[in-house]
Structure 1
């Protein structure tokens, strides 16, 4: 089975875990949640393990053999050897005031440091405006993070993660604190402090600020790449799934992308699209074609329902649906010369939450 097909099936269907070792899985919170990072076929992927569908998955992980090897099984038959990234060494440290480093920033995949600078959002308090898939408050309520990570804390943890664990880039996202800069000011302060402490490429992620001058301010603060995440491709699905965020329309995002790309460069602005929320494959690909034309890298990820959210029972997209999007998208990105490996930092560069990069590689290999 081609690696792209196997990875797509695994991320859509999830995996049942038995007695395995490795880094702890993630429950709740912003970013990839209810997942576990595994290494398979030379790639690190985030695989759902705490969702309802994953409990019915044909995929499972074997207990470690005598040599410590763990096999990925499909219906009980081995399909590949897997491993789990080890616990990061910086997780054992804490700040001078007693905050564990892992509460400030987490390791995503194997070499990406990620944090939600502000673990609250103006949209979450009211279900009429909250994104139905969002779990940003869960890890805060459970005491697994802190509400606001200061620039000094982020710089301290970033430096340790680079020195101790070889982290190669960092993602700074945030809950939306206001409807004006939408978190850009927080991201500027945070990035400036990190860059003063350690040479580390940084992606900042926020909704489009009202004033386009914030893109230059973010760049001048040291931000290498910018993520502005649409989540859904059509305005109808956005209004149904994320009613508050949908007030910033798809058209407004496209204008923001046109403002940001000249500042950061072609391919250094990206957007995250969740497949399986109701957009058709044709609608997702039509938007991606527009984005590629602007110079934005679209990162298409299978939707993973998170426990405790209104969409916890929502079915993830089928592997066939994901292939129908990712195969033509890989060719589209090849033709547009927008490789994920050229993105300096962020979700597109990491690629662990989607098998998209495998389709990018397949498209380039087929044209060689």
Structure 2
């Protein structure tokens, strides 16, 4: 099966069941995002391409671990040979760390506010990075909002300062305040990701009450002159009720200012637990639109150093999944 179609099918299904040899060292668990609080996930790779799927013993798709990371994927009557990649911290080759695994906001697709999350201490974060420093190429920092946007920003800035001695590219994705891009740039952060989350402002108001779509756009506009075209990213969730035309417009809008959109298929969770995942056919249609617009804008996710575009596990990524 062609890789991009295989990956789209896996993203549609969202999960696999496991058999074969013990697999614990290949299982990753999330403290933030839609998969927070689940039984874990794994990364299945063929060559330089990878996909991240959750573990669910009821899944119709099976991964058989043959030992030593070698694995076979059985899907739709086909067998695909590959390997399991161990996550350094959250994903392969990165120390991807959630600073505050709690949030005062209640975005409808996110389970984090309902989980007993905690904030990691800065010294503990530094120890986490040190423990994997010999097998990562980058550091990625994300966070909920534990008490206020301003307080979270200040804490994350202190986290970044503590991680500078590792001399690795650092990417940061938090909800931004007015000065967030400038302060992160002044510290030497390599890349930023501020998430507009939805394809339209009306959907944002519905999905993320209390937050500002325009404030995120303003942070993105400020970031491009600082970090450079192609070093600024924004997640856009697919499957919240938007049309393909809505997504094409927002991809064009982001690429037009030098921002690389990350199209993130919905993981049904929280108050959207009953929603369906986007179909493989829709993700493939959107991939073609996404790839065309990025190519026309001269933006290449294949150059990403950190965060989601460098990992590629959860999304179809032009320039990496072709």
**1:132 has 2:108 as partner:** yes
Q: Return the offset for 1:224.
A: 1.2
1:310-342 Cα deviation digits (max 9, x unpaired): 222211000111111111101211221211122
TM-score (norm: length of structure 2): 0.89
Q: For 2:66, what is the secondary structure of its paired residue?
A: coil
Structure of greater Rg: 1
Structure 1: unaligned runs, 5 residues or longer: 89-105, 124-129, 363-368
Q: Which residue of 2 aligns with 1:365?
A: none
* 2:108–2:207 Cα contact (<8 Å) kept: yes
Structure 2: which 5+ residue stretches go unaligned?
none
* Bigger strand fraction: 2
1:280 aligns with 2:278: no
Deviation of the 1:208 alpha carbon: 2.4
**Is the deviation greater in 13-22 or in 199-208?**
13-22
Counterpart contact for 1:203–1:223, Cα < 8 Å: yes
Structure 1 runs, 4 residues or longer, greater than 6 Å off: none
Inter-partner Cα distance in structure 2 for 1:303 and 1:329: 17
Checking the alignment, whether the CA contact within 8 Å between 1:208 and 1:256 is kept in structure 2 is yes
In structure 1, distance between residues paired with 2:148 and 2:294: 32
User: Residue 114 of structure 1: which of 71, 96, 119 is its match?
Assistant: 96
- Please say if residues 70 and 81 of structure 1, whose CA atoms lie closer than 8 Å, have aligned partners that are also in contact: yes
Partner residue of 2:283? 322
Instruction: Give the Cα separation in 2 of the matches to 1:68 and 1:162.
Output: 21
Structure-2 residue corresponding to 1:305 = 268
Q: 1:38 is paired with a residue of what secondary structure?
A: strand
Q: Which residue of 2 aligns with 1:186?
A: 155
**Counterpart of 2:32 in 1: which secondary structure?**
coil
Secondary structure of the residue aligned to 2:74 is strand
Instruction: Report if the CA contact (8 A) 2:34-2:110 is conserved.
Output: no
* Distance of aligned partners of 1:320 and 1:13 in 2 relative to their CA distance in 1, 3 Å threshold: same
After superposition, the CA RMSD in angstroms is: 2.5
Partner deviation per Cα, 1:30-72 (whole Å, 9 max, x = no partner): 146243222134312111334xxx8354x3223538x984211
* Secondary structure at 1:230 match in 2: coil
1:208 aligns with 2:210: no
Q: What is aligned with 2:144?
A: 175
Partner SS for 2:271: coil
**What is the aligned partner in structure 2 of residue 219 from structure 1?**
185
Structure 2 CA distance, aligned partners of 1:7 and 1:295? 27
1:230: which partner in 2?
Answer: 196
Tell me: CA distance 1:16–1:352, structure 2 relative to 1, closer, same or farther (3 Å).
Answer: closer
SS of aligned partner of 2:150:
coil
